Amino acid sequence: MRKLLLIVPVFIALMGCDKTYLPKPNGYNRIDLPPHAYKNISEGYPYQLDLSSYSQLEADSFNLGEKDWVNINYQDFGAKVHLTYKKIDGKTVDFKTLSRDAFKLTAKHQIKAYGIEEAVLVTPEGYTGVVAELTGEVPTQFQFFVTDSTEHFLRGALYFNTAMKNDSLAPVIEYIKVDMAHLMNSLKFLD
């Protein structure tokens, strides 16, 4: 009888487990974000702007022929903002083509994006900017361009070097969006 009392609970325990149990994590990793601080970049480029002090400016290694194309590398966050600059000459490079290309590059993400919100802004220098915020599992969550529409055109796009879900990256995305807003408001094209 005693053996039967021991065998019954073991039998019930074995029969009750028909699914594999996987423990769930307690939550997402904590991301500590530093306070916003900026440094001015004014030499060597046809524009002047403020970058986050926690980022590094580096040459764009994919298009070495464009010396004014740069990446803002947020190494601690695994993120880069690709900045592309074009001088508008009205003949070979015109505002209409550049702005149409910028909108096309944003629209390519409509396949995976839940939504794309665009807004027009005017910077303190009087330049026109267009900001596009993309939601969903897209490779770029934030794109923008700023132009004086006659001589200068600067476009930026945020990318992460990770396959993490965007909801996990939300604090970092919001942090970098503040930096990009500061960049656009501090931008000054040089002649």
pLDDT digits (tens, 9 = 90+) for 111-143: 666 667 788 999 999 999 998 887 777 667 888
What value does the mean pLDDT of the chain take?
A: 82
CB 85: neighbour CB atoms within 10 A?
18
Token readout for 137 is 């599992």
Neighbouring-strand partners of residue 170: none
Kindly state whether residue 21 falls inside one of the protein's structural domains.
no
DSSP letters, the chain, are -HHHHHHHHHHHHHHH--S---PPPSSPPP---PPP-EEEE-SSSSEEEEEETT-EEEE-SS-TT-TT-EEEEEGGGTEEEEEEEEE--SSSS-HHHHHHHHHHHHHGGGGTEEEEEEEEEE-TTS-EEEEEEEEES-S-SEEEEEE-SSSEEEEEEEEESS---HHHHHHHHHHHHHHHHHHHHH-EE--
Residue 31 lies in a domain: no
Domain containing residue 114: CATH number: 3.40.1000.10
Per-residue pLDDT tens over the stretch 27-45: 656 678 999 999 999 888 9
User: Is residue 107 assigned to a domain?
Assistant: yes
Q: Tokens for 136?
A: 């969903």
Please report, rounded to a whole number, the percentage of residues in the chain having pLDDT higher than 90: 38
Q: Cα dist. 48→41, 157, 184 in Å?
A: 6, 18, 10
Query: Quick check: is 20 in a domain?
Result: no
pLDDT band at 167 (very low <50, low <70, confident <90, very high): low
pLDDT tens sequence across 78-115: 899 999 999 988 788 888 888 888 877 776 666 666 66
Contacts 24+ apart (CB under 8 A), 114-122: 121/184
Are 158 and 180 in contact by the 8 Å Cβ rule? The answer is yes
Q: Residue 102, exposed/middle/buried by CB under 10 A (0-12, 13-18, 19+)? A: buried
10 belongs to a structural domain: no
pLDDT band at 59 (very low <50, low <70, confident <90, very high): confident
| Number of compact structural domains in the chain | 1
pLDDT for 26 equals 63
Is 158 domain-assigned?
yes
pLDDT recorded at residue 28: 58
Residue 55 is assigned to a structural domain of this protein: yes
Q: Between 62 and 26, whose confidence is greater?
A: 62
Q: Is the pTM of this model over 0.75?
A: yes
> Which residues form the domain of 44?
38-189
Where does the pLDDT of residue 179 fall: very low under 50, low under 70, confident under 90, or very high at 90 and above? very high
Sheet harboring 188-189: ordered strands across?
Answer: 38-41, 47-52, 188-189
Phi-psi sector, 126: left (phi>0), alpha (psi -120 to 50), beta: left
Tell me, yes or no, whether 33 lies in a domain: no
pLDDT of the residue at 36: 95
